[in-house]
Homo-oligomer: A and B are copies of this chain.
Amino acid sequence: MIHLTQPGTLFQDQYVTRASELLQKWQGEGVHSYGLIGVPLAKTSISHSGAHLAPAAFRQSLSGFTTYATESGCDLQRERIIDFGDIAMHATDVIESHKRIKDTLYELLQKNEKLFPIIIGGDHSVSYPAIAAFQQARGKTAVIQFDAHCDVRNLHDGGVTNGTPFRKLLEEKHIEGDYLYQVGIRNFVNSEAYIHYVKQAGVRMVTMEHVTAVGIQNVMQNILHEVEQKADHLYVSLDMDVLDQAYAPGCPAAAPGGMSSSVLIEALSLITRSPLFSGIDLVEVDPTVDFRSMTSKLSAYMVLSVLEKRIR
């Protein structure tokens, strides 16, 4: 008698659906649901980063979760996530890589009006072509950027990097200043010139100190109120380093003074109630410096929580 399994399948419980089973390989068909798109780009990072390995770590982490939420009773099995694979990056030419990101996402978003993209970076530079494509394909978009950093560095000193996505988006008019909400901006990791820049540009910037002082609920309610009055779409750009280093040790720029994971989950939970919410990216997870995949697991858990709260 022959007992063989797929390589690597060490144990399977017939009554358990792994969250990774939600992923369905794209066969070229039209997509009306969630779509997972990996963007394995980290050569745009200023510091040494293995964030291009995050899409693989994210998919792997999904297999550590089930599809079921115990309190609400929601089972994500009703949902489908089409896995488009990873966007093919050039080995060294980052301008070409950005172009491929924008072209690929634009075409996917335009051909699939109901596609809700879940974009897994890579470093934060990928949000520049991603948001540009989203805005161009879908129309008037507000962006909530969770981040310790403003990411509006000058382009002269290092070209296009993970320090410049929102500078590029603002300068090339892909997005107006007052359609960008930056939440969790921290002390001692930004500079006066760039805070001045975002204020001049009309960006809605909320410091971590302010979040602590007034509470995440107030912060988010005010933002969502504004967004719903002016935008057609809401896109979330989630730089995992908005979290404190104790919760997200695997970010290249992990540092103290950030959010706890429960505060960030509450923020996302409030966002899911908005009907405008139609796209998200998660960036800046470097699996090579993580501890026991904690940060990858947390990013997978965030995405599952978003899916469940949108169903409720």
Contact = CB atoms under 8 A, between A and B. Distances in A.
A205 to B, nearest CB: 8
A89 B10 contact: yes
A256 interface: yes
B56 A8 contact: yes
Contacts of A158: 11, 13, 90-92
Interface of A: 1-17, 19, 26, 38, 40, 42-44, 46-48, 50, 52-53, 55-56, 59, 64-73, 75, 83-94, 100, 103-104, 107-108, 153-154, 156-161, 163, 185-195, 205, 207-210, 212, 244-247, 249, 254-257, 261-262, 265, 288-289, 291-292, 294, 297-298, 301, 304-305, 308
A57 B70 CA distance: 33
A13 B157 contact: yes
A50 B99 CA distance: 26
Copies of this chain, tallied across the complex: 6
25 contacts: A1-B100, A3-B104, A4-B85, A4-B104, A7-B59, A10-B52, A11-B157, A13-B154, A13-B163, A15-B154, A15-B191, A46-B91, A48-B53, A66-B190, A67-B191, A68-B190, A70-B195, A72-B209, A92-B94, A187-B308, A245-B292, A245-B297, A255-B301, A256-B297, A288-B288
Contacts of A294: 245-246, 249, 254, 256
